[in-house]
Amino acid sequence: MREQTFSSPAKINLCLHVLGRRDDGYHELAMAMQRVNLCDQIWIRPGGMPGIRVQCAGVELAAGEENIAARAARLMLAEAQLDIAIEIEIEKQIPVAAGLGGGSSNAATVLLGLDQLLDLNLGKNRLMELGAQLGADVPFFIFSDPAWATGTGTRLEPLPPLPEVAYLLLNPKIAVSTAWAYQSLQLTRGGELANLPRFSVVTRDDLCAALHNDLERVVFRRYPLLAEIKQMLLAQGASGALMSGSGATLFGVYPDMAAAERAAAKVTKTTDWLVYSVQPI
């Protein structure tokens, strides 16, 4: 095993429907997700000390809590029946608690990286099964293609080819708890997947018309600045705008990177927000 570096991309939710709460406490979802080229960097190397060590500058865990990347490594070593030392170093670019799936992406990247470095060749389906034990979004990052996700988010189907666009991501440095957002959602009845319009888009206008996030109504009520940012994106020329996941990141849809970067320049002149011009991958 040798040291290797892996990119760990963010995701955005192009739509997020919450259909109801399940008996197991999780929520029944229907989502369209796409990866974007805002990436953490992860180094995986043989360790000198026994066990699994994860370094991630600037991210502090609560006492007794273990980084999801460390849990992913532990799961892979158990699957391979190996007892070796591994060091993982994460350089964060994706904001934490931002609705961009950074932690889930890190876990998926560790699973994929160790599968490669240890020559396990477990295959995508088995890696997705392992990922589902770590978090609902982890299998998506292993699946890698734009996906329609149902159930708790772990049943994945590829989306048809999406239009070529660029996105501007804005985060006003607010951390939103995913658990709080879902718990605050008032669900009057269980929705039906069959009644949802199929996420089938051809043009940029189709994409913008399909943007939807059920969590906006509870998150915007508590954090009205986020609703203002969405309207600002639209007023400044975005074809469409949406909150990703449970927030607090908003994204605007633009025809190309030049348009997204022009909009980004306006925002950075007047705010200290986190601003990223990105493309889908």
42-77 per-residue burial string, b: 16 or more CB within 10 A, e: under 16: bebbebeeeebbbebeeeeeeeeeebbbbbbbebbb
Q: Is 11 a catalytic residue?
A: yes
Contact 252, 241 (CB under 8 A): yes
Contact 15, 33 (CB under 8 A): no
Alpha-carbon distance of 90 to 108, in angstroms, equals: 13
Q: Is 173 a catalytic residue?
A: no
Per the residue annotation, which of 11, 40, 115, 230 is the catalytic one? 11
Alpha-carbon distance of 277 to 88, in angstroms, equals: 28
Per the residue annotation, which of 40, 115, 137, 214 is the catalytic one? 137
Q: Name residue 44's beta-bridge partners.
A: 4, 88
Which are the catalytic amino acids? 11, 137
